[in-house]
Chains A and B, each alone.
Chain A
């Protein structure tokens, strides 16, 4: 599909992407790279300029109730009406056939959201955690989260990560878009990197570990196919092509820098 807010200036051109259930995707990109735009296209809030998107045989553009029942988007800027937690649940939960009321209150407890009057009087972080709890309790097959950790304090970010890990099942797809890459460490199992409307990388963490190695070296000389390097305490932190089957832990921040700074090289490495 292609998409642009202006038909003459496309943000995504001929983007081809297949997403499968049973994965937690991390969509990484700089500010303005089009992450939210991609999520909105998947939900049917924006329509592709050309091409098409199919989600479980539904066209998101039509926004059919049966489609909307199986997908939930938590936008970066959440909206809560002037209702209490119970009123909100009673009003909106019936739209989601798999909504689990018990789990909803359990998630609220885990995220430390308390019944404190009207939702719109809560802080932004509390509102966001409330929406996260509600979205998880809806038990939709597809869960899209746009910058979910924005506005969350550090303990809440930890709780959020635990919660996402706990609700993940093989028939579910969770898609998290963020520019706060560290928040996704040890959470995602597939990485998608977009920049300038182009898909630069779409690979599993396992594949990335096979193709690239992340290590600290004293000197840069003697290392082939370096995609990225940065100064570190003991020399340099390096991302290079993994030619010798070295085992290393994928560092998402370094991966992102490597791929966005050397997109052609990264594409060549992941092509095979």
Chain B
């Protein structure tokens, strides 16, 4: 498990460097955070609950004298709390190191020093992007936890394929419904974006504030909470 954690963090590190080289600091921070936190956490959750996805190891852990809740809680603490904290710490160290290196490399005598200095800053864990990624982390991790307990063997790949099918299905259904409701629709994406043609222009239809919040909180926090709890129920019912 320590080796796998190290491997994931190494991938995150490489991703940061590649993205920084190709697109600069902002790209590096955004791409690494968006892909790093939800996806690597999902990989990690898959590894932790993957112990229940094969006959031999699953039988071994299910017959270990501990309650279902204790087993589930261990998995949640490792995959849902410990790993994200490690990721965030690692991300902060890498990000602040590179940002500091950049700041130190600047010529303090340059007339553009302040401008250049201010153009690069440490990623804000409390920013808008971060708060869009956190729900994605909860959702993906929840799906992986449940998937690892529903599928036997190569659960992560099966979860990934199921997610793709589910997402394409939702996109399709959403598009068809939007097409039925709006004659001049030009684009629609789940669950809060519909664009319509108004003359030669394109306009976006926005949900009333409270409806949008219901979807945002529902998808971001309620659905993941249900999935995380569902993994506990599934663990209790797991058979081999």
Contacts and interface: CB of A to CB of B under 8 A. Distances in A.
A79 B65 contact: no
Contacts of B236: 63
Given A40-B240, A46-B240, A79 B64 contact: no
Interface residues of B, number: 17
Contacts of A44: 62-63
A34 to B, nearest CB: 15
A69 B67 CA distance: 11
Name the prevailing secondary structure of the A interface residues. loop
Given A75-B56, A77-B55, A45 B63 contact: yes
Nearest to B71: A63
Contact of A68 (B57, B63, B240): B63
A77 B56 contact: yes
A63 B60 contact: no
A134 B47 CA distance: 25
A71 to B, nearest CB: 8
Given A73-B59, A75-B59, A79-B60, A96 B240 contact: no
B68 interface: yes
B66 A79 contact: no
A49 to B, nearest CB: 11
A72 B239 CA distance: 17
A45 B65 contact: no
A47 interface: yes
Contacts of A77: 55-56
Contacts of B70: 65
A167 to B, nearest CB: 19
A43 interface: yes
A95 B65 contact: yes
A5 B121 CA distance: 59
A46 B239 contact: yes
A40 B60 CA distance: 12
Contacts of A81: 57
B134 to A, nearest CB: 32
Interface in B211-240: 236, 239-240
Nearest to B60: A79
A152 interface: no
A45 B59 CA distance: 7
Given A46-B239, A63-B63, A65-B66, 5 more contacts: A45-B62, A71-B63, A79-B57, A95-B64, A95-B66
8 contacts: A43-B63, A63-B62, A68-B64, A75-B56, A75-B59, A78-B60, A79-B54, A79-B56
The 7 closest A-B pairs by CB, nearest first: A79-B56, A68-B65, A79-B57, A69-B65, A79-B60, A95-B65, A65-B65
